[in-house]
Structure 1
Amino acid sequence: MLFTHLARKLTVVFVYLLMIISAQVHAENLTQTIWDENYGFYQKILDLPFNQKVSDGTLDEKIFKNYIIQDYIFLQNFKKVYGILLSKAPDRKSSAFITDLMKGVDEEIEAVHTIYFKKFGVTKEELSGVLPNPGTELYNSYLVEVATLEPFQVGLIATLPCNWIYYQVGVDMKKRGQAGGNKYQEWIDAYGSETWEKSDAKAFVDLVESYMKNAAPADREKMRQAYETAMKLEYMFWEEVYRQPI
């Protein structure tokens, strides 16, 4: 009897603790937490010579040309990753969101990359002959691997840093007020013109937030690790395009 009574008490305590932990998880803004935890990587990206010189319009056009081509290669792979995620999406809301992301890639290429390809005289033949930089290839391979092998939510969050970083870089560059005569102003405006509440990045963060809060602890940790890895790979991509102009 004593053992049974004690077991019941322990069960009640255990359930109570689980309720407290669950309440804390749902009260916490988990995506903001992982942004804060990895903010150092974002700051390093923003402080790179590439972004400093894009911000004030002094970046060598050869370097920007290398960047815009490598980013195009990356985005082609991004569509492939979204396609993998679409096949694994667990509900209509997620399917619709991934479909919109895929359309967004095409719109981004048309609104940004095509403009600069024309400015720099980049032809389809030239694009087809350019190989990805090592950092681009590593990032591409990682995203495909995670999207293929890991649960949907882990693959999803691995694609979030790219979207969130580009939005924030654009916003931070616009705050510097270097608009007059900047030959890269169209690029800055493309990524930093929307308010946070209306941005695609905010919608993406909200979706990931819902998955994080409902994930099992082991999957939530996988999501944190995937996000951190993607942040590191983002830094490698940006740093490399500055060092390896065409």
Structure 2
Amino acid sequence: MSWSNTAWQQAEHIYQKIIAMPFIQELIAGTLPQEKFKFYIEQDALYLEQFGRALALIAGRAHQTQHVLDYTRFAEGAIVVESTLHASYFNTYNISGLAKPTPACHYYTSFLLSTAALAQVEVAMAAVLPCFWIYQKVGDYIYGQHQVTNNPYSEWIDTYAGEEFAQLVAKAIDICNDAAQNCTQQQQQAMADAFEMGCQLEWLFWDSAWRMETWAAKLI
């Protein structure tokens, strides 16, 4: 069994909880309150900036030249391509872009950056994989479920359920499988644990948007 299959089995229960979340179910129905989606988009833009940095850190530490190139392109995609999607929503919903990261966003990006900088690089590759794989799985699930004409969130749905994104995800999975072959069983488990933590933080990020989370005290 490939490393990715083992890792997915370990974390699949989290994915099942994600697709059952009210944020996802109302996104499918097109009934998600606009203020919650705006909140999510603003936080996601903050997240992607740091995600891009984490990918660039991995590119700088990767052992294989091809992986250096792949993660450099991943970083470019996170910062440039997906920011275009956010820019369109910022215009549509008149979002200022001045929001500060929520506790969930701060926690998630701190985990990715610290792992990308300090952990074994193969573990770092596994830690960033949920942002590819979970998003594709959720996008495909939403695309297969939603039947609403003129769903206000169809652009977001189409982006993450599209063939281009699926190819990107397949490459990220293949890289992790390739990297895991050169790891011990203990190191492979560390990769799987980092992947599972990333999946948990994906759940937390959507939950945060649903609750429109704020800091308990004015710290920032």
TM-score by length of 1: 0.83
Residue correspondences, number: 213
Aligned to 1:155: 124
Question: Matches of 1:195 and 1:151 in 2, distance apart?
Answer: 29
In 1, are the aligned partners of 2:102 and 2:213 still within 8 Å (CA)? no
**CA 100–132 in structure 1, closer or farther in 2 if over 3 Å, else same:** same
**Aligned partner (choices 102, 109, 112) of residue 83 of structure 2:** 109
The one-letter amino acid of 1:150's match is: A
**Aligned partner (choices 185, 190, 195) of residue 227 of structure 1:** 195
Give the C-alpha shift of residue 179 in structure 1. 4.3
In 2, are the aligned partners of 1:31 and 1:208 still within 8 Å (CA)? yes
Q: CA-to-partner distance for each residue in 1:141-179, whole Å, 9 max, x for gaps?
A: 111111111111111110001110111111111111424
Give the C-alpha shift of residue 217 in structure 1. 2.1
- Runs of 4 or more above 3 Å deviation: none
Percent identity for Structure 1 against Structure 2:
30
The one-letter amino acid of 1:204's match is: A
1:184 corresponds to 2:153: yes
In 1, are the aligned partners of 2:3 and 2:188 still within 8 Å (CA)? no
In 1, are the aligned partners of 2:43 and 2:101 still within 8 Å (CA)? yes
1:215 corresponds to 2:183: yes
- Which structure shows the bigger proportion of residues in helix conformation? 1
Aligned to 1:238: 206
User: Could you list the runs of 5+ residues in structure 1 that have no partner in the other structure?
Assistant: 1-27
In 2, are the aligned partners of 1:63 and 1:245 still within 8 Å (CA)? no
Question: Matches of 2:160 and 2:8 in 1, distance apart?
Answer: 18
The one-letter amino acid of 1:41's match is: I
Considering only aligned residues, what root-mean-square deviation do their CA atoms show, in Å? 1.6
1:200 corresponds to 2:168: yes
Decide which structure has the larger Cα Rg and report it: 1
TM-score by length of 2: 0.92
- State the SS of the aligned residue for 1:95: helix
Written as runs of structure 1 = structure 2, the 5 A alignment for 1:17-32 is 28-32=1-5
Aligned to 1:68: 41
Give the C-alpha shift of residue 91 in structure 1. 1.6
1:172 corresponds to 2:141: yes
